Chains A and B, each alone.
Chain A
Amino acid sequence: MFSFFEHSKKTSKNYSPEPLPKTIKSSLSDNLALLKQKTGKSPDIIIRSLKIGNQPKVKAAVVYVSGIVDTQTINEFLIEVLINYKEKPGNEAGQELIEKIAEEVVSVGSIKTETEWSSLFESLLSGNALIFIDGAAKALTAGTKGGEKRAIQEPSTQSTVRGSREGFTESMETNMAMVRRIIKNPNLWIESIKIGNQTRTDVSIMYINGSAESAVIEEVKKRLKKIKIDSILESGYIEQLIEDQTMSPFPTLYYTERPDIVAGNLLEGRVAVFINGTPFTLLAPAVFVQFFQASDDYYTRFDIATATRFLRAFIFLISLLGPATFVAAITYHHEMIPTTLLIVIAAQRESVPFPAIFEALIMEVTFEILREAGLRLPKAIGSTVSIVGGLVVGQAAVQAGIVSPTMLIIVAITAIASFATPSFAVAISARLLRFAFMICAASLGFYGIMLALFMMVAHLCSLRSFGIPYMAPFAPFMPGNLGDTLVRIPWWSMKKKTQLMNHKNIQESKNKKSQSLKT
């Protein structure tokens, strides 16, 4: 992807369009001509010429981009009122007229006078309407953002049994409003910047002033400002550009499309990053246990929530180590399997032609193929694929004697386990590492698994997310913060909010990659 954009940039260098003049002129026709030229006469740029006032009529134009504006507002509150503006302009030159229109005539929420082309273009392209009046070296921008948007729907990635059904949409304003509606606190602050030379994507950070540690806020802002890239198409871009360590299979930023999760995390002192055009919002800093928490945990009673969380930890271990342990046990450590079970497995493996590791790899890869195939198909066909793949192929493979039934069971359990982790981001890294573990298991048995596990844990312990140790509060051990990790203690015993984001825990951290990716 990046190379593609780099490429396009190189070609644009040769073409090098004329630089934009700084300020607008007072002649309407000149301004419109420039507009047309700069936009390449794109048909979605609508220029509505009109005449306003009475004796002499003054030429004016309303310019907007169709589709991203609220047409009704433009029609009713701009064009209609302008055309109906019949007062005598008298001696007023365009300059004064434009002030008057801004103050007395146009009835939209936000209106500004601008003189610079660059900001006019930016405003135009983000959905505002421009009003030019002949004779005025100024233009008005009227807030008319609008257009077709997806309605608020139930989030599709993090559905819950209990809890709000609202999910974020692609519009950043809507999303921020949803959070505002939950946290009615003036300390909920938002700061906004635009990132991407071409896309000029709106990115906002949101935090609760006083709750969030200023060091983290500053770090987030610093890293966002450092980004130099042509385009931001999704939150993933930002995530990869601001995370601490890029060479890691584990996510160090949390993403969600649920307003309640964002609100909860803001209250804990995290910083949210909203990106326009995607329903996914980033939360920083993230710790490892966070990826095993679902919003249901907080809505159900504590005992059930705790039990579920232990189950999830177990599930994660299965999805990471399941096939590896099985392969190690049946190729290296036969003595550790109870005799009866061993005989059952041995009987099944009598006729299997492949070594255990190969058998496991075949089945795991088959499963990954099925998953990938089912993912992008229409839902109706997707289920067919999984039935055909899972049931028919599995059954046939066993009957043909290519794989043993036990292996199929192990792979199936692992597959299901990898879907049971609440966060997709960490489930997929477990899925990737599973193969590494399997190879280690095949070459050195349990010792290999343990070695790989040590490497993984050491790596996890070395990660930091915006200065917070990734494995906190287990390593470093912070007993006061254990209330909301693997266990969730009852609400009435949570005396104070978690101190994880405390400045004591934050260390200067290195974010090597964000500067280096300059385009």
Chain B
Amino acid sequence: MKHKRSFFAFILISLTVVSGCWDKREMNELAFVSAFAVDLNEEGKYVGTFQIINPGNVAGGLQGGGGQNASITVYSAAGDNLLETEGHVSMKVSRDLYYAHTNLIIISEKVASEKGITELFDLFERAREFRTTTNVVLTRNSSAEEMLSVLTEKDKIPAEQIVNNLKGAEESQGEYQKITIDNVINSLITSGNEPLISAFSIKGEPKKGTKMENIQASQPEVRMEPNGLGVFKNGKLIDWLEGETARGTLWATDKVQATSLNITWKNKKDAIAYQVVRQKTKIAAQLKKDRPKISISVRAEGRIAEVSVSSDLTNPHTLAAIEKEVAKEIKEEIEKAIYHAQINKSDTFGFGDAIHRSHPDKWKKIKSEWNNEYFPSSDIEVKVEAFIRRTGLRTNSYLSDLEQ
């Protein structure tokens, strides 16, 4: 009994020493995958492309600074499913592929439109290393592999740059949205909601983008830009939304963070730019005799950012009139988007989900026919209110003085 304690200490030590560190992985045994792309080749097999970070070239520091060599290396391989592509790639890479820091999943246009994205996501959700907060984007007019191989100048890791680009576009344009694996899966499984995934395309010759010269130039010839929102139906890409339609969709789904609108004033087109600071959208759904009635109400708050005609912005009545005009503009956008979606027969707004919430019993009956029958014929009422809170550092534009 006297030495019992030391025995327990001994057990613990022997446990730790003997147990041989099964899950131990030193950092220089790992290849950090920053992005993963899915393509389809001619044979109809998946092609997985892996963008792997070369830490030494990214972090700089003592090793003499990055910039000389590419900060990433791209590998790709084909396979029948995603795991198989990984298996083939890992033979080419000298280290274990490590996904916990994967920030981006790129799905090529081809996969999305031909095979659909429904079956892609199980691995991402199931595997421990993937985080379900990883962003998903589509490619447009190029393959996913090309997209991953383009070097970028600001963020040394291209995946990071794509994500940041998208974030910037989401926060200022209101035409794009960041979407994560979680969101995609949730909208895939709920029948009253279809995913909307932002797309990127390459400007310039993709091959040139893989060279260091591209990013050493002050005006890189090859860049990546966000380009449209992909609309899905039953997991397949069917259409692209751009510009006002895209924004209208996002208005209706409460995703717009900030954007600017131009309105016609005094018969001059795009005379006043209104900058939205925040907005709130509410969707209410009702079923009247099995006919869905959706009402959307949008409230936006913002400021006047630019004026190109003279007008008396100190007058509250003028502001009220502008507000009305802005509201009309937003309403038009939303209606356009809804019209577009109804033609596509794809409920990207989650109206079905709203009905599900308010009428769970009836929803079960109409669920299967929602996209094709009920959604295109549903009554949709859009109500928009816009508020102007302030007009910046000046009240009236100098243009009003010019006129006098």
Contact = CB atoms under 8 A, between A and B. Distances in A.
Do the two chains touch directly in the complex (Cβ atoms below 8 Å apart)? Answer: yes
Interface of A: 247, 330-332, 334-335, 339, 342-352, 355-356, 398-399, 405, 439-440, 442-445, 448, 451-452, 455
Contacts of A343: 32, 53, 55, 58-59, 157
A342 B32 contact: yes
B133 to A, nearest CB: 12
B21 A356 contact: no
Contact of B101 (A342, A351, A352): A342
Interface size class for chain B? Answer: 35 or more
B66 to A, nearest CB: 9
A334 B32 CA distance: 10
Interface string B8-19: 000011011101
Nearest to A355: B26
B108 to A, nearest CB: 24
B24 A346 contact: no
Interface string B173-184: 000000000000
B364 interface: no
* Interface hub of B19, B21, B63 (most chain A Cβ within 10 A): B21
A443 B17 CA distance: 7
A347 B101 contact: no
B245 interface: no
12 contacts: A247-B6, A335-B129, A346-B30, A346-B59, A350-B63, A405-B62, A439-B13, A442-B21, A445-B23, A445-B24, A448-B16, A452-B12
Contacts of A344: 55, 59, 61
Interface in B44-85: 53, 55-56, 58-63
Interface of B: 5-6, 12-13, 15-17, 19-21, 23-28, 30, 32, 34, 53, 55-56, 58-63, 98, 100-101, 103, 129, 131, 157, 160
Main secondary structure of the interface of A (DSSP, over half): helix
A334 B30 contact: yes
Nearest to A338: B101
B24 A332 contact: yes
Given A345-B27, A347-B60, A443-B15, 10 more contacts: A330-B26, A334-B101, A339-B160, A347-B55, A347-B56, A352-B28, A356-B26, A356-B27, A443-B19, A444-B19
A487 to B, nearest CB: 34
Contacts of B15: 443
A132 to B, nearest CB: 53
B27 A455 contact: no
A498 to B, nearest CB: 31
Given A334-B98, A334-B100, A346 B23 contact: no
A255 B101 CA distance: 50
A334 B24 CA distance: 10
A342 B28 CA distance: 12
Contacts of B55: 343-344, 346-347, 350
B61 A443 contact: no
A451 B9 CA distance: 12
B59 A348 contact: yes
Contact of A455 (B12, B30, B100): B12
Given A335-B101, A443-B16, A444-B16, A346 B27 contact: yes
A345 B24 CA distance: 17
Contacts of A348: 59, 61-62
Contacts of A442: 16, 21, 24
Contacts of A345: 27
A352 B63 CA distance: 12
A261 B172 CA distance: 63
A445 B22 CA distance: 10
Contacts of A349: 26-28
A140 B295 CA distance: 113
Interface centre among A339, A350, A452 (most CB of B within 10 A): A339
A443 B27 contact: no
B59 A347 contact: yes
B15 to A, nearest CB: 8
A331 B58 contact: no
A330 B27 contact: yes
Contact of B28 (A346, A405, A451): A346
Contacts of A448: 16
Contact of B58 (A330, A347, A452): A347
A455 to B, nearest CB: 7
A303 B12 CA distance: 42
A344 B5 CA distance: 43
Contacts of A346: 27-28, 30, 32, 53, 55, 59
B61 A347 contact: yes
B25 A332 contact: yes
Q: Which 7 A-B pairs have the closest CB atoms?
A: A335-B100, A347-B59, A346-B55, A347-B55, A443-B16, A339-B101, A344-B59
Contact of A347 (B13, B19, B26, B63): B63
A356 to B, nearest CB: 6
Most buried by B among A342, A346, A350, A399: A346
Contacts of B101: 334-335, 339, 342
Contacts of A452: 12
Contacts of A351: 63
Contacts of A451: 12
Contacts of B30: 334, 346
A35 to B, nearest CB: 48
